Structure 1
Amino acid sequence: MNTTEKIREVAKQLLADQKVDLVVGFAQGTLPLRSTPYFARTPEQAENLIWSATCENNLANFVRKRTDKVAVIAKGCDVRAIVALIKEGQINRENLTIIGVPCEGMVDRKQICQAIGCQDILEVTDQGAELSLKGKNFEKTLAKADVMFGSCKTCQYNTPVIFDELIGEALPAKEANYDDIAAFEALSAAERNAFIAKEMEKCIRCYACRQACPMCYCSECFVDCGAPAWIGKGAQSVDDNALFQTVRVLHLAGRCVDCGACERACPMGIKLSLLNRKMVKDVKGLFGAEAGVNLNDPPALNVHQFEDKEDFML
């Protein structure tokens, strides 16, 4: 029995036994290499649930503030967001059943497009470590590891940190890898400023990053506030774009679970994960804290300890 079949079996049983009102998972999308978040409310609808290397959406977005009993099919980064949201009072753990799925990484359609010359894909076959792609005039096999999202390549927690039922065998946690951040830190201040300015020139202020982020849930975002108006609306200047992204990173300090949802959602290809991972690295180094890893640990910025490093203080 493969992962999809096991997920369907568990989901159907939960719904048939009326232990949950809803199962949040994924269904096949309308195109190859596309899956879509899916709500199954009956055992029959649970037959549409799938699991594949295209299930990249962070489903924590769909279980926040729900009052009914819900089950969610969740990978490692989803569960980290769920843990963080539980600690912030946004999810009632008693009403949530977590069906954990160990995840080896999700494939990036943009990288696949580049690898095949952006030809139309008509059929995809998952061969474990590889994807077999067929189009009108081509056939190509790609290693998943070569076309994986950057956030998946650096993911430490491939297995959900908490779950009520685990589908498949647990994968070991990985060592933290911040080589990309070290390279950014090695740049001079002028080079870093030039890099950020170049990235911010791309921003069209569509707020897809904000909407995709499971930890961005303010009832009124600071960019929408009119009294006082903190920032101009729309992509008015590089400075305003940089301010929006900088404040967003600061608001996520000690809360970002490094799922990469922001960068995946960005239509302009801005390297948003670099900014967030820099903050994740600093919070871990300064306070020894990681978001969404332990239900019992208080949020990093809610705690002061005499042992905290104070190297950043003048």
Structure 2
Amino acid sequence: MIERIREEARKAFEEGKIEILIGFGRGTLRATPIFIEKKEDVDKLIWDDTCWINLATYLRRFRGKKTGIVAKGCDARSVVALIAEKQLKREDVYIIGVPCQGMKNEKGEEFLSCRYCEYPTPPVYDVLVGEKREGKKENYPDVSEFESMPPEKRWEFFSEEVKKCIRCYACREACPMCYCEECFADSLDPRWLEPGLSLSSLQFWHLVRAYHQAGRCSDCGACERACPMDVKILYLTRKLNKEVRELFGFVTGLDPEALPPLGTYSTEDKEEFIL
């Protein structure tokens, strides 16, 4: 697999398809993002079950350049979402797709996002390395568990989790879809969030951030993995993705021409909320 990735990367440089490549190299304890600008360096590329960072986060830094990316399923879906939102041009991005075998933490445990992944094979790519993999069809069992709680228990669970948050915004920085020039959390005029770590400000931050991801999140889990306090937040975006799928029949990152439902309007939209 690694040699195939290197081979395709080298070929892309030689054929002038890319000026820079975003991939994974050997880090201290796990794979780390690397940025390659010449074909002689493609041998630095690796692939293993620690390549869990979503590399699509870095693409906007190289807008205007022919950029290659080594992308697993969730990375490629984020690329597609960015193209749909006009943050990237499809012709500027060369996707070396890699069917994902599932990523693991330092203990060798599979991440939640991989455990229920429906699209381990990139839905869009320029070249695919390896055999396509079938996704899971478990229909959000983690979300169903949360939904089964009484409303007061859900709120209690959510509040206890966000109490651990230190508002470092690592979740925001790890997410390819958090690209606003000024985040609402940083705004001073108007000020949306009070300074400090009051429970209400933590609740507001996590609820609004999750809402902003509705219909845009690829379920990559980068936000939760980046958290230094181990705050569980992936269930929030997965819950909203489930709602968007059921209400609008939309799944993030499958079609670069399809806008997220909350960013467009259709006469076919359900209107049960209208009394």
Distance in 2 separating the partners of 1:177 and 1:78: 21
Change (3 A) 1:312 1:256: farther
Structure 2 residue corresponding to 1:88, chosen from 52, 70, 85: 85
> What is the match of residue 10 of structure 2?
12
Distance in 2 separating the partners of 1:195 and 1:274: 11
Whether 2:174 is the aligned partner of 1:178: answer no
Asked if 1 retains the 8 angstrom alpha-carbon contact of 2:85 and 2:259, the reply is: no
> What is the match of residue 127 of structure 1?
none
> What is the match of residue 118 of structure 2?
156
Asked if 1 retains the 8 angstrom alpha-carbon contact of 2:113 and 2:219, the reply is: yes
SS at 1:44's partner residue? helix
> What is the match of residue 115 of structure 1?
none
SS at 2:152's partner residue? helix
Deviation larger for 293-302 or 147-156: 293-302
Structure 1 residue corresponding to 2:45, chosen from 43, 49, 71: 49
Matches within 5 A, 1:297-312: 297-312=258-273
Distance in 1 separating the partners of 2:250 and 2:10: 38
Distance in 1 separating the partners of 2:160 and 2:271: 32
Asked if 1 retains the 8 angstrom alpha-carbon contact of 2:20 and 2:36, the reply is: yes
Structure 1 residue corresponding to 2:170, chosen from 208, 221, 228: 208
> What is the match of residue 67 of structure 1?
64
In structure 2, runs of 5+ residues without a counterpart are none
In structure 1, runs of 5+ residues without a counterpart are 113-143
Amino acid at match of 2:251: E
Per the TM alignment, residue 272 of structure 1 is displaced from its structure 2 partner at its CA by: 0.5
Distance in 1 separating the partners of 2:243 and 2:53: 26
> What is the match of residue 78 of structure 1?
75
SS at 1:63's partner residue? helix
Amino acid at match of 1:195: F
Whether 2:50 is the aligned partner of 1:36: answer no
Distance in 2 separating the partners of 1:214 and 1:298: 16
> What is the match of residue 206 of structure 2?
245
Amino acid at match of 2:52: E
Asked if 2 retains the 8 angstrom alpha-carbon contact of 1:99 and 1:164, the reply is: yes
Change (3 A) 1:187 1:311: farther
Distance in 1 separating the partners of 2:36 and 2:160: 43
SS at 1:26's partner residue? strand
Q: Which has the higher strand share?
A: 1
Distance in 2 separating the partners of 1:68 and 1:234: 40
Per the TM alignment, residue 307 of structure 1 is displaced from its structure 2 partner at its CA by: 3.6
Deviation larger for 194-203 or 169-178: 169-178
TM-score, with normalisation over the residues of structure 2? Answer: 0.95
Whether 2:129 is the aligned partner of 1:167: answer yes
Distance in 2 separating the partners of 1:68 and 1:191: 49
Distance in 2 separating the partners of 1:308 and 1:42: 48
Deviations along 1:175-227, whole A, 9 cap, x unmatched? 25211111111111111111111011101000000110110000000111101
Deviations along 1:221-273, whole A, 9 cap, x unmatched? 011110111111342x1110010010111111111111111100011111110
Paired residues, what number?
274
> What is the match of residue 293 of structure 1?
254
Amino acid at match of 1:214: P
Distance in 1 separating the partners of 2:182 and 2:196: 16
Distance in 2 separating the partners of 1:204 and 1:240: 11
Q: Larger Cα Rg: Structure 1 or Structure 2?
A: 1
Per the TM alignment, residue 5 of structure 1 is displaced from its structure 2 partner at its CA by: 0.6
Whether 2:180 is the aligned partner of 1:218: answer yes
TM-score, with normalisation over the residues of structure 1? Answer: 0.84
Distance in 1 separating the partners of 2:105 and 2:121: 20
* CA RMSD after TM alignment: 1.4
SS at 2:96's partner residue? strand
Matches within 5 A, 1:104-123: 104-109=101-106, 112=107
Distance in 2 separating the partners of 1:269 and 1:231: 22
SS at 1:39's partner residue? strand
